[in-house]
Structure 1
């Protein structure tokens, strides 16, 4: 039986440059879009079913997203080229620059997907994976599978089972099945850490608030702080400070910026604060570390 999906979608400043190509399958609907978004364009999307988005061109510099209503700009994160959005999870997008893009949307029936994947993966593992979002850069194999599926959407040449198995293969490659053990032990999954790394990397000084970090992975602040410490052995503040100081070391090594300039650029209150933090973690003052690095 062909599955029919429903979705709430509101956009401003985004237009299709050609009619979408779509095909209904048993348990899924595939839609291929080519569109353009203007600077400041926005979108809101909410589906009662899980869905996958695969972009065929770079979008991280032009499109940002959040799952929080009325979120301020700093809480938006870069769009990745492969996303899994669980059922009922809203998404808001915003364009920072005009951009033409193409992507494959896969709307899937949850129970059908569970029946397809459970024999090889296990029902409980599949159900757990379906509840957790994934945002990654699409692997070569995922891109190839998505390309093959778009060809089948546009010009069906084989039995529908071929397209349905392509959908299952894309889902198998993208869903976070490896996270079940981590979630059971109170640790963050690799997919969640990837999202945090992308969020922190998007800030010039690597500074992100605890509420923003918790929202990025869909956890409460208290549970996030516990799970983060279980995963990394550090508090979120300690982890961010280590990232900031790594960037400071790069600046000390590769630029002629003064220590005061580096302190200001990386968000320290003053040079004394920078020096104290650097010495506590690295074991030397920034000036001593720069001299040692230059001598090596």
Structure 2
């Protein structure tokens, strides 16, 4: 499949410091960039097909990224080490300092990606996977694979199949694709991201954060966060927070003599009746009945 990447891109304050090393393949273009970015530099990228960027150094202190606008007036986050961008998703970047960086760009035809994923996870799950953005900060194996691709781009010696197989491995690792009972592909938050979120939630008395605040805590956009959060926990962010509040209420019911109205106020409910309704929905019983059952054990 002959393929030329289709991308609209504009940059200010970013310049290459070495010739771009690239190679085409079956529905694939691999390109290695070495560049220098000035403080205040900006970039805009919009591709009609999926693409992957792997950075070889930690860019989180120098670059920020947004899917909303180039002024970074709305949500933005530190640049991850590796990012998968679905087709048609715009990306803005901004540099906070002058620095040099290198990264591998992988442009993939969406049909090529579907052809790789579908035999293993099914066509519907594959289509869902390529529409799901992924960002990770812990790249380990992906960085090794990307480095092998860069070596081959620098000194070509192997068949095109070699790079194609390495790219396929990066895709499988980055997209966190595996077969589940429901046949859906999953992109998940890392344990480190979940730990950051738990720490942030535990700082609050009533355990309540907006979805935007939860996303900011782990360095993701709100829409991307909501998508992968449900894949990770099986709940929406608000359902998950509600379950944590009820868990806290159970602890207070079991370990203190606080009244139910006091517990309701302690965990941020407006009144006892509202707390009782929500507790029953989540725990299957009223707070009073739950406490009696626990005390009888």
TM-score interval w.r.t. the shorter chain?
0.5 to 0.7
Secondary structure of the structure 1 residue equivalent to 2:162:
helix
Q: Is the Cα contact below 8 Å between 2:81 and 2:137 reproduced in 1?
A: yes
Secondary structure of the structure 2 residue equivalent to 1:177:
coil
Partner of 2:221: 216
Partner of 2:27: 27
Which runs of no fewer than 5 residues in structure 1 stay unpaired?
Answer: 239-278, 282-296
Secondary structure of the structure 2 residue equivalent to 1:93:
strand
C-alpha separation in 2, matches of 1:178 and 1:40: 40
TM-score, with length taken from structure 1: 0.67
Secondary structure of the structure 1 residue equivalent to 2:236:
helix
C-alpha separation in 1, matches of 2:132 and 2:236: 15
Which runs of no fewer than 5 residues in structure 2 stay unpaired?
Answer: 246-264, 268-297
CA RMSD of aligned residues (A): 3.8
Change (3 A) 1:194 1:2: farther
Any residues of structure 2 matched to 1:82-231 within 5 Å, and which?
82-178=82-178, 190-191=188-189, 210-211=211-212, 216-218=221-223, 227-231=236-240
Change (3 A) 1:40 1:179: farther
**Residues paired across the two proteins, number:** 235
C-alpha separation in 1, matches of 2:157 and 2:146: 16
Secondary structure of the structure 1 residue equivalent to 2:59:
coil
Compare CA radii of gyration and give the structure with the larger one: 2
Pairwise CA distance, 1:190: 2.3
Q: What do residues 200-253 of structure 1 show as CA deviations (whole Å, max 9, x unaligned)?
A: 999xx99975456578142799xx998213345458xx7xxxxxxxxxxxxxxx
C-alpha separation in 1, matches of 2:81 and 2:239: 29
Partner of 2:60: 60
Q: What do residues 172-222 of structure 1 show as CA deviations (whole Å, max 9, x unaligned)?
A: 1101325977997xxx952399778879999xx99975456578142799x
Secondary structure of the structure 2 residue equivalent to 1:5:
coil
TM-score, with length taken from structure 2: 0.67
